[in-house]
Chain A
Amino acid sequence: EETGDDESYDQYGKGDFMEHACKYCGVQNPACVVRCNVPSCRKWFCNSRGNTSGSHIVNHLVRAKHKEVCLHKDSPLGETILECYNCGCRNVFLLGFISAKTESVVVLLCREPCLSVNALKDMNWDLSQWCPLIDDRCFLPWLVKVPSEQEQLRARQISAQQINKIEELWKTNPDATLEDLEKPGVDDEPQPVALKYEDAYQYQNVFAPLIKLEADYDKMMKESQSKDNVTVRWDIGLNKKRVAYFVFPKEDNELRLVPGDELRLRYSGDAAHPAWMSVGHVIKLTAQEEVALELRASQGAPVDVNHGFSVDFVWKSTSFDRMQSAMKTFAVDDTSVSGYIYHHLLGHEVEMQMIRNTMPRRFGAPGLPELNASQVFAVKSVLQKPISLIQGPPGTGKTVTSAAIVYHMAKQGQGQVLVCAPSNVAVDQLAEKISATGLKVVRLCAKSREAVSSPVEHLTLHYQVRHLDTSDKSELHKLQLLKDEQGELSSSDEKKYKALKRATEREIAQSADVICCTCVGAKDPRLANFRFRQVLIDESTQATEPECLIPLVLGAKQVILVGDHCQLGPVIMCKKAARAGLAQSLFERLVLLGVKPIRLQVQYRMHPSLSEFPSNSFYEGTLQNGVTINERQSSGIDFPWPMPNRPMFFYVQMGQEEISASGTSYLNRTEAANVEKIVTTFLRSGVVPHQIGVITPYEGQRAYIVNYMSRNGALRQQLYKEIEIASVDSFQGREKDYIILSCVRSNEHQGIGFLNDPRRLNVALTRARYGIVILGNPKVLSKQPLWNSLLTHYKEHECLVEGPLNNLKQSMVQFQKPKKIYN
């Protein structure tokens, strides 16, 4: 029901495909188009030549051998079939205008026979100036306007070959579209992404099939996750809604439940209970990997039963639909983004444009820490440009910088600023920082996540609606109380409640300076008709291009993409789509197109010893340290670092890797056992669990370590449960005081898989503030050039060690020659 309300106004982009848009190029200005009047055709075409010798309408008429047309109802002559005034002939190839000799009156007359009738000469008409309707392969431009240069540039750039092909196709299938020409066969590899695109239609032709592939894969994978014999624990939430707790065992594949996901809980019934099912939203995942599911309807729930439930994943296409719709809007709606941004995003050559704004006197913002030089430089340059990229290496304060930028943009009075990121965590962090500057922030959450706890709850739209500060108790407030009490309202009250709520939501959202939501959330129906000229997207290197496009097509004139293309990109599950390049972010493509990212250069996270290798290997040595060795000294912690002033070591492991039970991942028992020893040593030395993070690239190893520590941990079990053990990928954007990295791969002949990606290594190495321990097999890892240089770096600093933890010794293990990299 709640989602029903969601979907009722969650339609595809506004007025996407005007019926009268030119079937070739999409131009939809009524003054520029005519309809082919052949009953089996009735398609619209414009009077622009585009890249061909004749105008689109003339092209069509000639290729299809159609001869009659009708003007648009909003054209100067209204809906009119063009025909000879005298005989009614409708063949446009014969028609032309004549005018009266004295008055400014004109008529359409056919060349044959009417124009050659002698009697006409004696009348009031001037036959000598007969003016053909089609002249120079184009309709008379004063009858059917030629689209402006601007309109033509933003239209689909169709070629003569494409016109011939589509006309051929229309003969057998009149409803075929240009997209059908490009459609790959079932087994074909999709068309790969490009650096530049002719137009937004070509862009859409490339990306739409990739998004479709990813959506299909996602659906298939999630819907195959049904589980039977699930044991449920019942509870009631603060909002009086029924909550079911259960363990939804995940295979060690990539599927991860996240709050907001929808699951269906089923009970097949027994002697005392009828069959039952309900859908709910995941509101949290406990440390014990228990899922909390808030049910949408709790009537009839068998709450006195605990065993024998089944759980299915309910797949929703919303986010994929919104990407597709954003691409359509980008193509057909020329107000979706400014012309400059349109051409820039497609890789067309556009002359540099500066925004003339009065610059603020200082570039910092109230409530934020002072900015350093590279941050000030970033804020200053961004404010003057319509498109900018900010690269924020780990710990360089990109959230603070982003917040300062948003603060200054909001103060320019160009309307509300839209702030997005692909992940909810990043949106929350940014919303909090922006709010600290004193700006009015609304954080818009998906309806399915309203029950999910958030550190910025007071900024969320649903919270603000509920806690509206009204002196007299408003109607909405009363209805809300009633709904909370009774669980539901009468249908008339429900209607009233919804209308009031929608109006209030709108009012609050409109009064904000800044709206924060995920990229996908930017197309939320509650923001329908909102326009944003200034958009900042954080973590943009973790979003696919179509995802990034969602917040941009709401009228963007100034765009700031923040991210780091030297860290991990978006996760693409479908290999075919990934191979075709869907994993490349818009940020990266813009870099390839020559947009130079502004790099933040001072890192405030890592002990200087820890930042040295990442700085040299990933950031050309430009990363400076904003923290000193003293500030990152682990005082009072007694841990056996081989070099006391360098809190890092590579712990040589020779244990074998194994394929995990699922057959799709790896684990390494020796490394897991040593991880436990290291964790225990940290805990004994006075480090508390939340300071430690264990990361590994493999889900198989992650699950194995969780299990191993809870069974074999030398200390209290609870301590190990409080330690976060996660994949490298899920640790991106976060930090811990101490990081233990388990590499897993250890084999003679195979590759090192996941570890091959330099961006993953960068992320793994840059999470720790105070110290890092890496466990791995140097013999195997050294084959890869980047790992080889990492191992060499550790060895040179006498941090490559082996032996028991309480007696670590320099390792003399021989490295292999790194393979050459071919680019």
Chain B
Amino acid sequence: DDDDDGGGGPPSDEDEEFHFRQKITEVDPREEAEFDRELRALMQESLESRKVEQRARPTLNMTIPMNIFEGSLKDHHGRGGGEGDSGDETLDEEDGGNKEVRVKVLVKRGNKQQTKQMNIPQDCSLVRSTKQKEAAELEE
């Protein structure tokens, strides 16, 4: 039944041009304060509970598996398509200006390690330091 879009012609969803006077939404300061209080309480409680629970320090299992780098090397040079080369790791976002960096997120599925690709803004503190260091190393 969903074979097509009917006789309506090709539905091109060109950006609509219209201007909407957005009403200014004000957040009730009392509501905001109350919410903040609850949020902080929850943070606090979370931290406290961990301190109590985890008397023994956990054993670390944080080595970055080498195969990831190998994989990433393959990614960088093996696959064509021009993406992922350390030089073009910054991607231009459509809306311009806001450069992004491609990172690998390391996660565990059961006991297996996996990586997933993700873009994060270049100005995020998380990558800023890495980038700076990389740049510094390069200069050396």
Contacts and interface: CB of A to CB of B under 8 A. Distances in A.
Interface of A: 9, 50-54, 58-59, 61-63, 65, 67, 76-78, 80, 83, 85-89, 91, 93-94, 97-108, 110-114, 117, 119-120, 123-126, 128-129, 131, 137, 142-143, 149, 153, 160, 335, 338-340, 343, 348-351, 353, 413-416, 509-512, 527-533, 555, 557
A532 B119 CA distance: 38
B129 A129 contact: yes
B21 A351 contact: yes
Nearest to B127: A99
Given A103-B69, A129-B129, A531-B6, A112 B47 contact: yes
A646 B54 CA distance: 101
A106 B6 contact: no
Interface of B: 1-9, 11, 13, 16-23, 25, 27-28, 31-32, 35-36, 38-39, 42-43, 46-47, 50-51, 54, 57-58, 60-64, 68-69, 72, 89, 100-108, 115-121, 124-130, 133-134
B47 A76 contact: no
B7 A415 contact: yes
Contacts of B102: 104
Contact of A348 (B7, B20, B127): B20
B60 A102 contact: no
**7 nearest A-B residue pairs (beta carbon):** A530-B6, A415-B9, A531-B8, A510-B7, A351-B19, A415-B8, A340-B18
Given A101-B130, A120-B62, A94 B103 contact: no
Given A85-B62, A510-B7, 16 more contacts: A76-B116, A86-B62, A104-B101, A104-B104, A105-B72, A105-B105, A107-B62, A114-B58, A123-B63, A128-B129, A131-B125, A131-B126, A335-B13, A351-B18, A530-B7, A531-B11
Contacts of A340: 16, 18
A113 B51 CA distance: 7
B126 A117 contact: no
Contacts of B38: 62-63
Nearest to A96: B126
Contacts of B25: 50-51
Contacts of B35: 52-54, 59, 62, 137, 160
B36 A53 contact: yes
Contacts of B130: 99-104, 126
B20 A87 contact: no
Given A104-B130, A338-B16, A142 B62 contact: no
A721 to B, nearest CB: 46
A153 to B, nearest CB: 7
B58 A119 contact: no
B126 A77 contact: no
Contacts of A86: 58, 60-62
A530 B28 CA distance: 44
Contact of A137 (B17, B39, B103): B39
Contact of B107 (A80, A119, A343): A80
15 contacts: A94-B47, A99-B127, A112-B51, A124-B63, A142-B119, A160-B28, A343-B18, A343-B20, A349-B20, A353-B18, A414-B9, A510-B6, A529-B3, A530-B7, A557-B16
A142 B116 contact: no
Given A87-B58, A142-B124, A529-B4, A105 B106 contact: yes
A384 B116 CA distance: 50
